[in-house]
Amino acid sequence: MKIMKTILPEEFLGKLKKQKYQVVGRHSGVKACRWTRKALTGGGFCYKQKFYGIQSHRCLQMTPTIGFCTNHCLHCWRVEPEDINIQWDEQLIENLEDPDPPSEIVEGCLKAQKRILSGYKPTGHKKVTWEKWKEAMEPTQVAISLSGEPTLYPFISELIDTLNARNMTTFLVSNGTRPKVIENLSKPTMFYISVYGPDKPTYLRVARPIEPNNWEKLNESLELMNNFNSNTVLRLTLINGLNLLHPEGYAKLIEKANPTFVEAKAYMYVGYSRSRLNFEHMPEFSQIQDFAGQLSTLTGYKILDESAPSRVVLLSKLDKKINISKNSVKQY
């Protein structure tokens, strides 16, 4: 892979490196999820393994749009421009004449993941088995969700195709503000849209959109999700005192999107979100359970599972969970 100068500010890059991000090329990045590390050392696994059957120790968490987004969400644990008092064009990548090619991003991210996990080699880490470490060095699952809005990357469909060609499952997480991209998107194994409020005023307060019509674009994307030929997830990130309210509003959005699954998940008081919110904004798991119960009553979605460590409840129209495999599709 050729070495290229990043298009991000040096101050921002410095913060990323302190947080143990691996910057790939000019606008991509990798960071080992704590659940990947825990799974390697026998300390548990991500709720997505429990819900969908992925292997946490073989999951690559990456982004093709590190530092480029369409919202400044209050609850985002990533560093945002205002957090470090600098500004940059957060839509620059969308109009870049020569963005990094998908093949180079994939190769660079795989190499970065190997660099990160080399520190967990069993010769120096007694809690890690050789079998698990060797498996981790060959990821089978990619979460395109680390930082920024991935649909800003002009070749997002080609990136998904490149990963699919390697027989890797893909979870794409979007904020839904690029419906035209979503309309023509290559199908990932699992397509997420994150929802930050049951109505426009709440959404504006929590998402702090850079573009004034992001709520309308989100709703357009939710309508597109209804016809998406892939497993789909509506993720509700719920915050005490801000958007953990009006379940009937969320129910209308769920009805519009008709997702395979709904994840009702508590905001977690971590990272840079701690400079924008307080500890009291993080809901107790019991609150999420209660709210999920209300959503179930309103929508007819069944509660299939839950994860107390991640404070998340899984709802679905399906009668049972699925085990993700290549080319899995919506099953109802």
Residue 10: burial class (beta carbons within 10 Å; 0-12, 13-18, 19+): exposed
pLDDT of residue 327: 43
Cβ neighbors of 253 (< 8 A, separation 6 or more) are 195, 198, 219, 222, 234
Residue type, position 160, single letter: I
Where residue 241 falls (left for φ over 0; alpha for ψ -120 to 50; beta otherwise) is left
Tokens of 112: 């970065």
Spans of the chain below 70 pLDDT: 1-5, 325-332
The confidence score (pLDDT) of residue 81 equals 83
CB of 94 closer than 8 Å to CB of 64 = no
Confidence at residue 126, expressed as pLDDT on a 0 to 100 scale: 85
**156-199 pLDDT tens trace:** 999 999 999 999 999 999 999 999 999 999 999 999 999 999 99
The superfamily in CATH containing domain 10-316 is Aldolase class I (3.20.20.70)
d(CA 39, CA 42): 5
pLDDT for position 328: 44
pLDDT of residue 5: 62
Q: Give the separation between CA 205 and CA 207, rounded to whole angstroms.
A: 6
Contact 230, 188 (CB under 8 A): yes
CA distance 62 to 75: 19
Note the pLDDT of residue 56.
Answer: 92
28-30 and 59-63 beta bridge pairing? antiparallel
CA–CA dist 224, 218 (Å, integer)? 10
What is 206-244 written as a DSSP string?
Answer: HH-BSSTTHHHHHHHHHHHHTT-SSEEEEEEEE-TTTTS
Neighbours of 211 (CB within 10 A): 12
Distance CA 205, CA 197 (A): 9
Show Cβ contacts of residue 312 under 8 Å, excluding neighbours closer than 6 positions: 47, 263, 264, 265, 266, 288, 306
pLDDT tens readout for residues 188-228: 999 999 999 999 999 999 999 999 999 999 999 999 999 99
